[in-house]
Amino acid sequence: MPWVNGEMCTGCELCVDECPAGAISVEQEVAHIDDTLCIRCGVCHDVCPNEAVRHDGERIPEEVESNVAWVRRMLSNDYYSGDTEKRGALMERVERYFRKDIKVAEKTIERLRAMAGD
Ligand code: SF4
Ligand code: SF4
């Protein structure tokens, strides 16, 4: 989903006026996008004079760090302390969890490609 970098946004409301889905509002001089309303048309990217509307891909490093921090937190529990076997089993479970997301994404993309040809 598009997202707004609060430090780059001046609250000019240009994107609010141009958004065809009424998905953007400005609060305290920063634009916010309501993901439930956004139809991903890309207009906000095009109209923003400050390039404050950013793309999903830029969040990958941040999301990876958040995932790693989540696993680190679990590993810091006494349950895993010094137990290589338990730690290894957790890693396998977590890997399965993320691989499931890959499968969901692949299958979704397959369906969407078929839908585009309808
Ligand atoms: S992508 Fe389109 S619908 Fe979504 S917030 Fe931007 S202008 Fe609105
Ligand atoms: S057009 Fe850009 S700077 Fe103006 S409110 Fe929207 S995101 Fe912020």
d(CA 58, CA 40): 16
d(CA 20, CA 29): 21
Residue 1 confidence (pLDDT) = 86
d(CA 3, CA 10): 14
Instruction: List, in sequence order, the alpha helices (H) in the chain.
Output: 14-18, 43-47, 60-75, 84-116
**CB of residue 25 inside a 6 A radius of ligand 2:** no
Ligand 1 center–CA 78 separation, angstroms: 46
Residue 116 confidence (pLDDT) = 82
d(CA 45, CA 5): 12
CATH of domain 3-54: 3.30.70.20
Ligand 1 pocket, CB under 6 A = 2, 19, 21, 23-24, 33, 38-44
Domain ranges across the chain: 3-54, 63-116
Atom index in ligand 1 nearest the CA of residue 33 equals: 5
Residue 108 confidence (pLDDT) = 97
Residue 98 confidence (pLDDT) = 97
Compute mean pLDDT per 10 residues along the chain, 118 residues long, and list them: 95 98 97 96 97 94 97 97 96 98 96 86
The answer to whether 18 and 44 have CB atoms below 8 angstroms apart is: yes
Q: With the CA atoms of 13, 16, 18 and 23 taken in that order, what torsion angle do they form, in degrees rounded to the nearest 10?
A: 160
